[in-house]
Structure 1
């Protein structure tokens, strides 16, 4: 009988799980065990870490603010550069337009004396003499051709006889008392004026009336 029990005990020991017989199985901690608090050094390190994170956040915020301010400055500079470029293009276009409008101004200044000489020639020839008729017609045709050609280039002739005196367009050579017209009226034109596309090339030289 003792031998049989011994065999049964051996079978029970063989069937028993290893986990129950493992010598290294950790034992549960007692219910009343206390949790260790961090040391002063550990607390100091944790506080320094928090301060470092706060400083890093502030530095990042300051960097973002600086970048935003720089972006505003760059946008303003870009807008200014764009405006300056547009102004430069506008000025260049205006210069081109002016050059196109007033390209013949120098030529006009050289041609105006020719027109003056033709008008003087007409005024000096005796129109009553039949022998001068052909000459007068030739000079008149030449004069008309000159004036018509100038008109094609937006040249305006200033012949202000009987008009009010305009100091921006007329140059008064003398004043003559006259009670038949209003004061500052152009009585006579010594020399006609010319204007090119609204720009005065030469003022009209005139005689102006004044009160008697």
Structure 2
């Protein structure tokens, strides 16, 4: 009992810092013993290698599957891109064709409408050439309808209508209609010598063909016997 009380007194008299160092030392020794025990335990290298190989093979299979999937998606993308380009090209061709057909239809309607007005212009021009007003009343009437004629001509010009004026040009069946062929030596054969019905353009398009008179090969004069000089009696 006396010894135990002494030990108790000694324990109570120990410095707290010394006690803490002792505890830390005991803790470190325990951890070192545990590491030594773990190091001394043999590792199953064969099991580890087999598991690693299996995992690697699985990863390779997944990569191959992903590469195959990417290749398939690339093929689909190429097909969709090609299909889109074909659709875009077809649409562009359709748009151009529709625009061209619309312009052609507008031009046909315009030509039909303006072509119906040309005979009115012809009548004005015939009246201008044939009628010679004498009295003041006739001159006023003549002046009135000539004013209307000028307005119509101005309107036609604003729409792109222009006269052909083929006189002196070579006959062109795409522009002219030959109504008469007249033998003459004044013009080369095939030359338009007179415009009987005026022709007109609408822009670069023929609105109405010109009806014309065309020069044919002229008749060459053959000297008669009377016109030939008489031979001299001495010859």
Fold-level match, TM-score > 0.5?
Answer: yes
- For 1:18 and 1:106, locate their aligned partners in 2 and report how far apart those are by CA, in whole Å: 113
Show CA shifts across 1:149-182 (max 9, x none).
Answer: 3122221122312222233322223433333212
Q: Is the 8 A contact 1:183 1:210 kept in 2?
A: yes
Are the equivalent residues in 2 in contact too, given 1:102–1:196 (CA < 8 A)? no
Q: 1:205 to 1:26 in 2, by over 3 A?
A: closer
1:120 to 119, 126, 136: 126
CA contact (8 A) 1:177 1:210 kept: yes
Q: How many residues align?
A: 197
TM-score (norm 1): 0.62
- For residue 118 of structure 1, report the CA deviation from its aligned partner: 2.6
1:36-58 residue CA offsets vs partner (Å, 9 max, x unmatched) = 5537xx84x76554433222211
The unaligned stretches of length 5 or more in structure 2 are 11-21, 219-235
Superposition map of 1:94-173 within 5 A: 104-123=110-129, 125=130, 127=132, 130=134, 134=139, 140-173=146-179
Segment drifting more, 80-89 vs 173-182: 80-89
Contact 1:122 1:139 in 2 (8 A): no
Report the counterpart of residue 196 of structure 1 in structure 2: 202
Which structure's relative contact order is higher, taking Cα pairs within 8 Å and 6+ residues apart?
Answer: 1
Query: Alpha carbons of 1:148 and 1:19: their partners in 2 closer, same or farther (altered >3 Å)?
Result: closer
Q: Is the 8 A contact 1:169 1:200 kept in 2?
A: yes
Structure 1 unaligned blocks of 5 or more: none
Distance in 2, Cα, partners of 1:18 & 1:84: 84
Q: Work out the CA distance in 1 between the residues paired with 2:109 and 2:166.
A: 26
Deviation track 1:80-125 (CA, whole Å, cap 9, x = no partner) reads 55566666666666677667777643331221111122333445x3
Partner of 1:206: 212
2:192 corresponds in structure 1 to 186
Q: For residues 47 and 27 of structure 1, do their structure 2 counterparts lie closer, same or farther at Cα, with a shift above 3 Å needed?
A: closer
Quick one: structure 1 residues 47 and 138, their matched pair in 2 at CA, closer, same or farther if it must change by over 3 Å?
A: same
Q: Structure 2 length as normaliser, TM-score?
A: 0.58
Say which one has the larger Rg: 2
The CA deviation at 1:66 is: 2.7
